[in-house]
Structure 1
């Protein structure tokens, strides 16, 4: 037996009117039993679908029965028209939104939708048999109802996904709003306590505030995921977000960014009631580390005197002019002296290690250091000179150049 259909989920035009006549007794019985069938749908869902069970109390009768009536109305119209609706013609958007708000899982919502329609379809087939309606007409009607349910399920699924995305966006906006307000000190203690608990934060433990900036090809999303993964601690998780090209937030302990290329400023651990001060500290660490071209995770202990150096640009300029600028008159040799001094400090002022790093004889290192003392008129045995020279090299190194600073 074949059932001819047009391209619009229905029978050929000539067959539609004929089908409605042949199914007339069944359509009439369905119409007269609307209230009974609505109750039957509700009862079936209560018995067979977990989220609809009375003890769950997720979907009350005042929400379920109107939906059951709509199922019946659509069934009757489909049999009368001989055409199943397209997904966009099935208005189930309110059902998808309502069931989502009531906490039904997507799969269970769709299963319940199909189960309710199966009650109606089975009743249709039973009525048709009682009235001796020819099998071909019954099969045609059942096929239309299957198509109708598929259309409704497709629309339910599409609307559900769209609504879930909207809810997720709303949740993310609220989460970011809380995070920004907390880091800016815009929350009173009661609001902070309530919101922190909802996001899994513990006001009784310290957190580090994080402000991170990706470098090179590192993406913000990957950096956020890495910080989250690298800062979980004994069941405590980070709360992070992306704002203006940076990752900001709080973490239960110092994050680990692995081999990612990024600069991350963090505060010392403190309670969330001090988050605004911690955020200012993390911001300062990020700015200083960025100024010096550093990659990695940095707090005050890591940066040390560099924090003071970044805050004293006039002193930095004075020291660069005092110790490095005069070497500019000596061209390549002056640049060679600066490179040697940098390696000398990096090697803990050990001449043998410095020579090994530069792949030259230790006596060459001694000669270069002596020439520097002669040219600048200082002694590298003087602690003050060593401190000021290191400061000058660090400030000059922030610009990543081995070219001596020009005089004048």
Structure 2
């Protein structure tokens, strides 16, 4: 389309705005921030860049109207850079295009106000400028949108590559802490913050392979909202047939507080994301070895939970930590087994001990649960102490019995 060259009073007005577009910039900025909250909340540095972008766009329009020449390749590249920067500033594409549309309407409103005061320029505004204005800003918007989408795609590929590299460091035997820290910082996450691994058994029904990543991204957004963290701060990987997600802990949290918080989070996520069927919860760990250890714990918790049954869908490693610690040492395992080995010959005594531990060592509830007289319970507990060679009032000995009984039940 032929580019019009403004004449007479319109040319004088346009030349004045080319020299000083402050009125256009301020009115456009005000209109844009009123129409879109994303722009109203920009940090100072981004706001300055945004104002400079409006200024550039206004000056380019004026220059085009004065010269009658299409914007140069250099000018168009500047527009494309604007689009690319908005990706990294966290402005979504819809907001970007809305801002461009609102800004162009405000510029046209300024020209119309001038035309209302100068009737002799109205024909030029209507028949010369208005048709081209639509084409001009439409073409600029297309250039920005294409640059934005390309940059967004490249950023996504770049982040995926870094995530893949980070996961390789976690699952490799080397445990290169320095490289782990470098990749983490490049991704914008703090490597000094401990994380907990959640291992999900999940399915994405009726989803084409090409859409799996999109579905996983959606689930991560739900998980991020539930955990009240930025979605970019979640790291995920597929490992041993399960979806692994590392959740950042609160700095300074104790192991106990973190474990409780992650258990609550797991329950909320299972309720909010139907595709997540079961979840194993590891314990907090820092660095590549800590992340890897938490994954192993989450998967182990799930495997043990599935083996024992019970119909649950949340399995915490902390619930089996004592048992697993004992299993790693043959001597400890044999010792714990020997504690109740002789009780196994008297099923009533073993059943009584299990119930006593389940009732938190409270005798009245234990007797009620077993359906026996309190005196009978007292006799059985004395027999347990006599046969096993210990004192049920000794917390250390009681803890050993608790683990031993748990190991025996886990092997059934």
User: TM-score w.r.t. structure 2 length?
Assistant: 0.52
Q: 241, 244, 247: which one pairs with 1:246?
A: 244
Residue aligning to 2:199: 213
1:265 counterpart = 2:279: no
1:281 counterpart = 2:293: yes
- Give the 3 Å change call, closer, same or farther, for CA 216–155 of structure 1 in structure 2: closer
Number of equivalenced pairs: 329
* Residues 6-405 of structure 1 mapped to structure 2, 5 A cutoff: 29-30=5-6, 42-43=18-19, 45=21, 48-49=24-25, 56=48, 68=61, 97-103=80-86, 106=96, 108-114=99-105, 129=120, 139=126, 144-145=131-132, 148=135, 151=138, 155=142, 159=146, 162=149, 165-166=152-153, 169-170=156-157, 172-173=159-160, 176=163, 179-180=166-167, 183=170, 185-186=175-176, 188=178, 192=181, 196=185, 199=188, 201=190, 207-214=193-200, 222-228=222-228, 239-244=233-238, 245-251=243-249, 252=251, 253=253, 254-255=257-258, 256-257=261-262, 258=264, 260-261=266-267, 262-267=279-284, 275-293=287-305, 295=314, 304-311=321-328, 340-358=352-370, 360-363=372-375, 365=377, 379-382=387-390, 390-398=402-410, 405=412
Partners of 2:135 and 2:237 lie apart in 1 by 46
In structure 1, runs of 5+ residues without a counterpart are 1-19, 78-91, 400-404
Cα deviation for residue 120 of structure 1 reads 7.9
Query: Which has the larger Rg?
Result: 1
Q: Aligned with 1:266: secondary structure?
A: coil
Cα deviation for residue 110 of structure 1 reads 4.2
Quick check: which one's helix share is greater? 2
Cα deviation for residue 308 of structure 1 reads 1.9
**CA deviation profile, 1:297-337 (whole Å, cap 9, x unmatched):** 656xx75532323435898699779968997x99xxx6x87
Cα deviation for residue 243 of structure 1 reads 1.8
Partners of 1:215 and 1:186 lie apart in 2 by 29
User: TM-score w.r.t. structure 1 length?
Assistant: 0.52
User: CA RMSD for the aligned pairs?
Assistant: 6.2
Residue aligning to 1:12: none
Say whether the 8 Å CA contact 1:263–1:297 is kept in structure 2.
yes
Partners of 1:260 and 1:32 lie apart in 2 by 70
**CA deviation profile, 1:264-299 (whole Å, cap 9, x unmatched):** 21236x6xxxx1232243234324433443946656
- Give the 3 Å change call, closer, same or farther, for CA 345–166 of structure 1 in structure 2: same
**CA deviation profile, 1:230-249 (whole Å, cap 9, x unmatched):** xx9xxxx9943222212115
- Give the 3 Å change call, closer, same or farther, for CA 326–192 of structure 1 in structure 2: closer
Say whether the 8 Å CA contact 2:197–2:282 is kept in structure 1.
yes
Cα deviation for residue 359 of structure 1 reads 5.6
Say whether the 8 Å CA contact 2:236–2:246 is kept in structure 1.
yes
In structure 2, runs of 5+ residues without a counterpart are 30-44, 204-218, 268-278, 306-311
